[in-house]
Amino acid sequence: MSSNALLGGMNLVKIGDGVDPEVFAMVEDVTSVTPPNAEVSTIDSTSMEDGYAVTSNINGPRNAGQLMFTIQWIPKNITHQTLEQWNEDPSTFHNFQHWISEEASGITGGFLKSEYRGFVSGFADGGLTPQGIMTKNVTVSLTEKAIIHYPSDTP
């Protein structure tokens, strides 16, 4: 199975505080990030008039996808605690930023910055690293399409 996960050293994930003007805090110890892939659902459009009794489908609504990342879990870290609390209240939407370094993005002159809006829909145990450090897998279900800026100033 292939993955578009990126190495953590080339990524920054930030979470917004929801206040105007919004301030973003870096999520520490991110080890990998999988950017979202927009998905299109299908709708069964089979009709008795189709003639061949074969199911037919049409494209349905587009889904913004999910942003997923893994962190080395530090229970006393404020951004880790915030993500865990947000997982317990999926009715609240939050703003996220994902910054990719020039080396990883292939863009000359700065970082690739993506902005997302969504809710934390998963905060699961990811197991232990070879060094015995606990990890957590964070899933953010997006409610809007990403806004991408490139090149962007340093985070």
Chain segment 78-103, per-residue pLDDT in tens: 999 999 999 998 888 999 999 888 77
Q: What is the pLDDT of residues 20-42, one digit of tens each?
A: 899 999 999 998 898 887 777 77
pLDDT > 90? residue 107: no
Confidence of residue 1 (pLDDT cuts 50, 70, 90): very low
- Domain coordinates in residue numbering, the chain: 11-33+63-152
Burial readout 44-79 (b: 16 or more C-beta within 10 A, e: otherwise) = eeeeeeeeeeeeeeeeeeeebbbbbbbbbbeeeeeb
pTM of the model: 0.78
- The dotted CATH code for 11-33+63-152 is 2.30.110
